[in-house]
């Protein structure tokens, strides 16, 4: 008798899985399609995050090490930036790069460069804010020791950076996570374009997922979602690996 | 007319060859030129082959269009031909009709392919669009759950069907996104003399595919273009309850698509030459034939209407416009 509930339960539990697996295997893509959208996703997000890091980390160190009136306010502004809705950022960048906008003559609308611009705007606040927290968290003694040993301001900054490297790695990963997973702004400024033979020009994994969902192709959307998660996991693993090597070296 | 167009196309082809020869290291333009060898050889007296090759090869045509054309896969199917013929790239951006026209209005696209005659006419009257052509048509259908709670199955009047749905307060999903389909839906409610509203009427603000999915999940009715419905039919349980004119339904459910170039007089950066080449190409008998041959799930989605023996002057001007009108 106690076996019966289990027997009833089993099909209920396993049936959806059984349906899901063949559905996933059925999904087919045109040759080169997935590879090209993965490439565009990585190209746009990594470029944007690299540019953001170049701006954010020096800014975070400068703000973190300096004492000036209004520092708290600057921190609040940066923290607020983390909450920028990506669609709004997309709209602002759209107005900027549109033919009618201030950057119209550069003809950036519906290009990867425009997507990089919007992701730069999105990734910079989290990278700055988390780096700033990491820099502020470095023990004052470290700074003082560097100064006492005769270090210039640059030396002090480098010592602080080294101490804060884990926090800064986290900041960069958070920025990357924000950039690679957002769909609103890249859809608006990029246009979700592929060529007729299915090679992506401005289609990223997120906008491809949105497109599949719009067409009701939920299985395909799920497969692309899995690819995106795998991609983020890989990038994180690589960064963490580098971080560990940095310690032993 | 025909001869002029041939010469124009041939000249463009010659330009493609010339510029391909100029930069033969680029494999892309090399392919484009190669596919058009005969046209290029046919004209050797054209200026486009001068020392400075100014052909269109390597250029990009930005086409804003509707989700209903894009999502059926038609454009990917036919665009390869155009890209190879001219050695160019077509960037197709799928938006709702309203957004597609707005993008063009801002000068961010070179050509629009949409399906809402009222909005197209406004675009033309405001001077943003030129050289409009009728392209193809299919029709709208009213779809809903097989149980058909409001009982509209087989009605011969779309407006009666909508009135019946409203009176029964049966669930209705509206696109609510200023797309061609949404515009048609609003026109139908207006024609029916009913102002939709209340819990049963939901504006989703999504594309056709998503709207169909929402209607499917909720057992609601919705207005869909036949193309999107066919391409998604296997995924959903909705069924056609009121047919459009293709299956002898009311004419009011017709869904004509038009194509027009962005006026280079308003936006001087618009790629007008290439836009006109595209219009010439897509309204040519060969491509119109390909459109009629395009099938999804074994069904024809679009019916070409650009090639006709009889003149159809109304396709070039806002609907009902005549030269006697004061608003030139």
Q: Does A118 touch chain B (CB under 8 A)?
A: no
B75/A107 CB distance under 8 A:
no
CB-based contact, B83 to chain A, within 8 Å: yes
- Residues B59-102 have pLDDT tens digits of 999 999 998 888 888 999 999 999 999 999 999 999 889 999 99
Average confidence score pLDDT of chain B: 84
**Nearest residue on chain A to B108, judged by CA atoms?**
A99
**How far is residue B23 from each of residues A8, A161, B14, B52, B60, measured CA to CA in Å?**
70, 49, 14, 12, 17
Give residue B22's pLDDT band: very low, low, confident or very high (50, 70, 90). Answer: very low
pTM confidence score: 0.80
Residues A151-179 as b or e (16 or more Cβ within 10 Å = b): eeeeebbebbbebbeebbbbbbbbbbbbb
B125 pLDDT higher than 80: yes
Pairwise CB contact (< 8 Å): A110 & B232: no
Q: Which of A132-141, A157-166, B6-15, B149-158 has the lowest mean pLDDT?
A: B6-15
Range with the poorest average pLDDT among A204-213, B18-27, B259-268? B18-27
Choose between B45 and B98: higher pLDDT: B98
The residue among B226, B137, B242 whose CA lies nearest residue B192 is B242
Q: How high is the pLDDT of residue B198?
A: 86
Residue A64 — left, alpha, or beta (φ > 0 → left; ψ -120 to 50 → alpha)?
A: alpha
Is residue A193 within 8 angstroms of chain B, CB to CB? yes
The low-confidence residues of chain A, meaning pLDDT below 70, are 1-26, 243-249
Going by their DSSP bridges, the two strands B172-174 and B221-225 should be labelled as parallel
Question: Is the pLDDT at B221 greater than 60, yes or no?
Answer: yes
Task: Look at A193 and B236 and tell me if their CB atoms are within 8 Å.
Answer: no
| Residue A29, pLDDT score | 85
**Residues of chain A by 3-state class (helix, strand, coil), percent to 5:** 80, 0, 20
Closest residue to A213, CB basis, from B78, B107, B210: B210
Closest among B191, B290, B306 to B256, alpha carbons compared? B306
């Amino acid at each position: 008798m106690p076996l019966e509930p289990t027997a009833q339960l089993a099909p209920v539990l396993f049936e959806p899985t059984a349906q899901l697996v063949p559905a996933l295997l059925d999904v087919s893509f045109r040759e080169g399609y997935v590879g090209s959208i993965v490439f565009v996703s990585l190209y746009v997000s990594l470029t944007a995050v690299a540019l953001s890091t170049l701006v954010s980390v020096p800014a975070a160190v400068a703000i973190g090490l300096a004492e000036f009136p209004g520092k708290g306010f600057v921190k609040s502004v940066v923290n607020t930036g983390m909450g920028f809705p990506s669609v709004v950022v997309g709209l602002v960048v759209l107005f900027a790069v549109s033919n009618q906008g201030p950057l119209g003559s550069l003809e950036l609308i519906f290009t990867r460069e425009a997507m990089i611009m919007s992701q730069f705007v999105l990734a910079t606040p989290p990278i700055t804010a988390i780096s700033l927290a990491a820099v502020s968290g470095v023990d004052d003694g470290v700074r003082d020791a560097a100064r006492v040993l005769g270090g210039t301001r640059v030396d002090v900054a480098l010592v602080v950076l080294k101490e804060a490297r884990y926090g800064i790695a986290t900041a960069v990963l958070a920025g990357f996570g924000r950039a690679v997973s957002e769909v609103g702004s890249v859809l608006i400024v990029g246009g979700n374009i592929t060529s007729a033979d299915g090679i992506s020009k401005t289609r990223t994994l997120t906008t491809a997922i949105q497109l599949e969902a719009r067409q009701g192709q939920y299985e395909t959307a799920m497969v692309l979602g899995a690819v995106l998660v795998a991609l983020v996991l890989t990038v994180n693993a690589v960064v963490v690996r580098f971080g560990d090597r940095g310690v032993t070296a | 007319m025909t001869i002029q167009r041939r010469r124009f196309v041939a000249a463009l082809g010659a330009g493609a060859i010339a510029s391909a020869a100029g930069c033969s290291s680029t494999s892309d333009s090399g392919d484009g030129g190669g596919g058009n060898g005969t046209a290029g050889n046919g004209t050797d007296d054209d200026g486009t082959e001068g020392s400075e090759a100014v052909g269109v090869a390597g250029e990009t045509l930005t086409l804003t269009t509707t989700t209903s054309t894009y999502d059926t896969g038609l454009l990917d199917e036919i665009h390869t031909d155009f890209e190879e013929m001219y050695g160019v790239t077509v960037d197709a951006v799928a938006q709702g009709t309203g957004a597609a026209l707005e993008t063009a209005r801002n000068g961010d696209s070179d050509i629009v392919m949409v399906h809402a005659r009222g909005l197209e006419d406004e675009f033309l009257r405001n001077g943003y669009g030129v050289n409009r052509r009728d392209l193809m048509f299919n029709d709208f259908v009213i779809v809903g759950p097989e149980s058909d709670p409001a009982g509209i199955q087989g009605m011969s009047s779309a407006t009666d069907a909508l009135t019946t749905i409203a009176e029964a307060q049966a669930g209705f999903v509206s696109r609510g996104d200023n797309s061609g389909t949404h515009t048609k839906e609003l026109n139908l409610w207006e024609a029916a003399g009913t102002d939709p509203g209340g819990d049963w009427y939901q504006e989703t603000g999504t594309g056709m595919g998503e709207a169909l999915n929402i209607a499917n999940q909720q057992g609601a009715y919705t207005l869909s273009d036949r193309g999107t419905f066919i391409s998604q039919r296997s995924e959903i349980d909705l069924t056609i309850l009121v047919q459009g004119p293709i299956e002898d339904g009311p004419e009011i459910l017709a869904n004509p698509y038009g194509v027009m170039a962005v006026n280079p007089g308003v936006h001087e950066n618009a790629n007008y030459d290439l836009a006109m080449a595209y219009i010439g190409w897509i309204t040519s008998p060969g491509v119109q034939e390909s459109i009629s041959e395009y099938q999804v799930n074994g069904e024809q989605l679009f019916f070409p209407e650009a090639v006709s023996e009889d003149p159809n002057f109304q396709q070039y001007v806002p609907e009902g416009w005549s030269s006697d009108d004061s608003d030139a």
